Amino acid sequence: MLRQYDVIVIGGGPMGLSTAFHLSKRKVRTLLLEQFTFFNQLGSSAGMSRQFRLPYPEAYMVKLVKQSIPFWDELQSLTPTTLLDKVGTLWFGDPKVHSTEGNIAEAEKALQELNVPYTTLTAAEIEREYHFRDLPSDYTGLFQPDGASIDLRAVQQTLYNWNAASPFVAMEDEAPVTRVTQHGRTFEVMTPKGAFTAEKLVLVPGPFANGVFQLLGFRIAATYWNMASAFYRITEPGIQYPTWFVFQNAAGDNGNEFYGFPEVSWDHPGTIRVASDFVIQPLDSPEQRTLVPNPRELEYTAQWVRDHMTGLAPVPLFTSTCLVALSRIPNKELLIDFAPAYVPNHRNIVLYATGWAAKFVPLLGRILSDLALDGHTPFDISHFATGATYLKPL
Ligand code: BEZ
State pLDDT tens for residues 167-199.
Answer: 999 999 999 999 999 999 999 999 999 999 999
pLDDT at 87 over 60: yes
Confidence class of residue 134 from pLDDT cuts 50, 70 and 90?
very high
Q: Is the CB of 273 under 6 A from ligand 1?
A: no
Task: Write the residue with the smallest CA distance to atom 7 of ligand 1.
Answer: 277
- Cα 125 to ligand 1 centroid, rounded to whole Å: 23
Q: CA 176, 181, 182 angle in degrees (round to 5)?
A: 140
Confidence class of residue 392 from pLDDT cuts 50, 70 and 90?
confident
- Catalytic (active-site) positions: 53, 101, 259, 277, 322, 356, 359
Q: Cβ(262)–Cβ(243) under 8 Å?
A: yes
Q: Cβ(169)–Cβ(8) under 8 Å?
A: no
Q: Is the CB of 356 under 6 A from ligand 1?
A: yes
Q: Cβ(84)–Cβ(52) under 8 Å?
A: yes
pLDDT at 30 over 80: yes
| Structure confidence at residue 332 (pLDDT) | 77
Confidence class of residue 390 from pLDDT cuts 50, 70 and 90?
confident
Q: CA 153, 156, 160 angle in degrees (round to 5)?
A: 135
Confidence class of residue 102 from pLDDT cuts 50, 70 and 90?
confident
Confidence class of residue 49 from pLDDT cuts 50, 70 and 90?
very high
Tell me the per-residue pLDDT of 284-337, one tens digit each, with 9 for 90 and over.
Answer: 999 999 999 999 999 999 999 999 999 999 999 999 999 999 999 877 799 999
Spatial strand order in the sheet of 243-247? 119-122, 140-144, 89-93, 243-247, 258-260, 271-276, 222-233, 318-327
- Cα 317 to ligand 1 centroid, rounded to whole Å: 22
d(CA 187, CA 3): 12
| Structure confidence at residue 2 (pLDDT) | 82
Higher pLDDT, 174 or 394: 174
pLDDT at 388 over 80: no
Which residue of 91, 247, 356 sits with most ligand 1 atoms within 8 Å of its CB, as the best mutation to test the pocket? 356
pLDDT at 394 over 60: no
Phi-psi region of 358 (alpha: psi -120 to 50; beta: other; left: phi over 0): alpha
Share of the chain above pLDDT 70, in %: 99
Which residue of 44, 68, 100, 101 sits with most ligand 1 atoms within 8 Å of its CB, as the best mutation to test the pocket? 101
Tell me the per-residue pLDDT of 241-290, one tens digit each, with 9 for 90 and over.
Answer: 999 999 999 999 999 999 999 999 999 999 999 999 999 999 999 999 99
